[in-house]
Amino acid sequence: MAHRDRAAVPHGLTQVATVNEMLIDRLLPDFDVTLIEHTVVETDVATTWAAREDLDLAQVHTPLLDAALFVRDVPAKMRARSGRADPAPPPPAELKLSGDGMGLDGWLILGEVDEREVAFGAVGRFWQSDIQWYDVTEMTPEQFAAFDEPGWGRIAANFSLRPYGEARTLVSYEARTATSDPDSARKFARYWRLVRPFVGHIMRAALAALAREAQERARRSVRA
């Protein structure tokens, strides 16, 4: 049974069969862990969705997030300086969940339903100190859903929007992770116990940035 932590492009998947079906349920229905964060944005769904399209996740910063990312990169930087590995590529200047791709190794956009949900994911060995990402350049959403190669894990995540009254929007951010074999599952379980609070912090920071962007968009619309 999947463990739930909380109560937790190619646009290959763009249609839902029922009002309740979600893309993420088709992409990764069975998983080891999931984490879900929510926020209520003081703008309607259309405005919130437009802000989501413009949200640049590369610009999401908090003191804890910046410090944790710095510490996370130290092992790779040390290996590069000693000549035991090539320098890590710089982080992307922009990271938006729109267009044909995310511009981030191992990650791909898996589909969207307009003004309702955008799904994205990755394949990698992310429990290692030096993360290895699977080449997903040519991977389709259907191939992602069927992927079961031993030694790798999958992350499927989404932003989903629902009306919350007449003029507000409930935004949910979910991240699910699944491994393909018992050894990878054990390694990931140890890693997850350490990083779960950090992952939740990142998700809450992204939701806060989205809320700010949506509310600023609404203010600009009123002033126009």
pLDDT tens, 72-126? Answer: 554 554 455 666 556 555 655 677 787 666 777 789 999 999 999 999 999 999 9
Percent of the chain's residues with pLDDT above 90? 58
pLDDT of residue 100: 63
8 A C-beta contact, residue 102 and residue 121: no
- What count of Cα atoms within 13 Å lies in the side-chain half-sphere of residue 66? 5
Residue 128 carries which side chain, given as an amino acid letter? Answer: Q
- Taking the C-alpha atoms of residue 216 and residue 224, their distance in angstroms, rounded to an integer, is 12
Which residue from 74, 25, 32, 1 is spatially nearest to 192, judged by alpha carbons? 32
Residue 131 pLDDT more than 90? Answer: no
The better pLDDT of the pair 156, 223 is held by: 156
Residue 189 carries which side chain, given as an amino acid letter? Answer: A
Percent of the chain's residues with pLDDT above 70? 74
pLDDT of residue 86: 61
- Look up residue 144 and give its two tokens: 């992602």
Crossing angle for the helix pair 182-223 and 45-54, to the nearest 10 degrees: 120
Instruction: Compute CA distances 142 → 19, 27, 155, 158, 159, whole Å.
Output: 21, 8, 14, 16, 19
Predicted confidence band of residue 59 (pLDDT cuts 50, 70, 90): confident
